[in-house]
């Protein structure tokens, strides 16, 4: 039976790329009792309600994770929370640093406090590969957020609320991603590439939603889950979108990495290989490692980076994923 069947679920940032797809999939496949979409934009909520055929199981809350009082109200009767709200554009976070802090860090703590006060059963927060060994503010705020959600299990005490984190790479076609950017520029015959060596982890919205739902079913509280997903070369992506375009190498932007990382060498000391995904266990006195003690640890010196990943997407696979 689905972990979400008959549950009251809330998604922060529910009108974003992940939120919209998560809501569609859960309504179609998991038969929730109620699904609450919390976001700041009433127009996006209006459009989303129409797209969903005004499904009576869906509720729309105007609100911001920065507003603790609004979260307390919205979490009334909620059993499962998926925290997808974030300011995630790297340049915007660099230019507006404290705005990113207020949403990605203060907002995370507000979600935690509301979940504890309202006795939510399970909370899973979405992270990013940029949170591992971060070099930009967005990644740094998400690393802090990850640590807040892991530590929240200690604050729960005797309460039944449990928190976990999922961390994955770039999502194909999400708003603000490179795919719509390249498609928009393809008619010009020139695609800008920061560096011909650049690699990224790659995941579809369906895969991201599946992973979140699967981890809601196996989490015990305190884990940081990392899926095993393929890498791609950005130059291959450009060629998949526009084979004839000239590639203009413009240099790495501030706050950008040549290769992304999801598990560092230091985190690997607490990481186990669960087959289709990795689990980074918390380094905390309260952690009961029993749920994962039979799972093999990763090898000494292991790290999970997009350039050393054993799985790579071909040009044909990239074309299929982007609908080209």
pLDDT cut 70: percent of the chain above it: 99
Asked if 306 and 199 touch (Cβ cutoff 8 Å), the reply is yes
Looking at residue 166, what is its pLDDT? 98
pLDDT at 178 over 90: no
Of 149-153, 177-181, 281-285, which gets the smallest average pLDDT?
A: 177-181
Of 209-213, 223-227, 232-236, 252-256, which gets the smallest average pLDDT?
A: 252-256
pLDDT at 173 over 80: no
pLDDT at 176 over 70: no
pLDDT at 324 over 60: no
Element containing residue 163 per DSSP (H, E): strand 162-166
CA atoms within 13 A on the CB side of 291: 14
Looking at residue 321, what is its pLDDT? 86
User: Rounded to an integer, what distance in angstroms lies between the CA atom of residue 308 and that of residue 157?
Assistant: 40
Neighbours of 19 (CB within 10 A): 23
Element containing residue 202 per DSSP (H, E): strand 199-203
**In which region does residue 301 sit, left (phi positive, over 0), alpha (psi from -120 to 50) or beta (all else)?**
left
DSSP 108-146: HHHHHHHHHHTT-SEEEEE--GGGSS--SHHHHHHHHHH
Residue ranges per structural domain of the chain = 8-169+203-228+262-298
pLDDT at 160 over 80: yes
Give mean pLDDT, residues 291-303: 95
pLDDT at 151 over 80: yes
pLDDT tens-digit series, residues 34-55:
999 999 999 999 999 999 999 9
Please, what sign has the CA dihedral across residues 252, 255, 256, 257?
positive
Annotated catalytic residues are: 130
Burial class (CB in 10 A: 0-12, 13-18, 19+), 54: exposed
Looking at residue 206, what is its pLDDT? 94
pLDDT at 61 over 70: yes
Q: What does the mean pLDDT of the chain come to?
A: 95
Give mean pLDDT, residues 63-78: 98
pLDDT at 246 over 90: yes
pLDDT at 278 over 70: yes
CATH architecture of 8-169+203-228+262-298: 3-Layer(aba) Sandwich (3.40)
Give mean pLDDT, residues 68-88: 97
């Amino acid at each position: 039976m689905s972990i979400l069947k008959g549950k009251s679920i809330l998604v922060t940032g529910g009108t974003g790329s992940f939120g919209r797809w998560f809501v569609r999939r859960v309504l179609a496949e998991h038969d929730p009792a109620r699904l609450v979409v919390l976001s700041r934009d009433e127009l996006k909520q209006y459009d989303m309600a129409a797209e969903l055929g005004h499904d009576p199981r869906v509720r729309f809350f105007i609100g911001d994770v920065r507003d603790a009082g609004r979260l307390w109200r919205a979490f009334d009767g909620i059993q499962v929370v998926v925290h997808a709200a974030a300011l995630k554009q790297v340049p915007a976070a660099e230019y507006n640093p404290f705005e990113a802090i207020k949403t990605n860090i203060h907002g995370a703590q507000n979600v935690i406090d509301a979940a504890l006060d309202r006795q939510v059963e399970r909370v899973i927060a979405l992270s990013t590969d940029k949170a591992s060994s971060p070099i930009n503010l967005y990644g740094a705020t998400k690393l802090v957020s990850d640590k807040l959600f892991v530590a929240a299990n200690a604050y729960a005490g005797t309460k039944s609320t449990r928190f976990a984190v999922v961390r994955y790479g770039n999502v194909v076609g999400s708003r603000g991603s490179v795919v719509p950017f390249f498609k928009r520029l393809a008619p010009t015959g020139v695609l800008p590439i920061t560096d011909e060596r650049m690699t990224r982890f790659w995941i579809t919205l369906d895969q991201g939603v599946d992973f979140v739902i699967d981890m809601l079913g196996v989490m015990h509280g305190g884990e940081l889950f990392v899926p095993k997903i393929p890498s791609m070369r950005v130059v291959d992506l450009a060629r998949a979108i526009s084979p004839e375009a000239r590639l203009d190498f413009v240099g790495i932007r501030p706050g950008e990495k040549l290769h992304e990382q999801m598990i560092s060498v230091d985190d690997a000391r607490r990481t186990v290989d669960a087959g289709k995904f990795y689990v980074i266990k918390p380094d905390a006195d309260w952690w009961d490692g029993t749920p994962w003690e039979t799972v093999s640890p990763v090898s000494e010196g292991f790290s999970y980076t997009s350039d050393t990943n054993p799985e790579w997407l071909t040009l044909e696979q990239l074309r299929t994923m982007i609908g080209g």
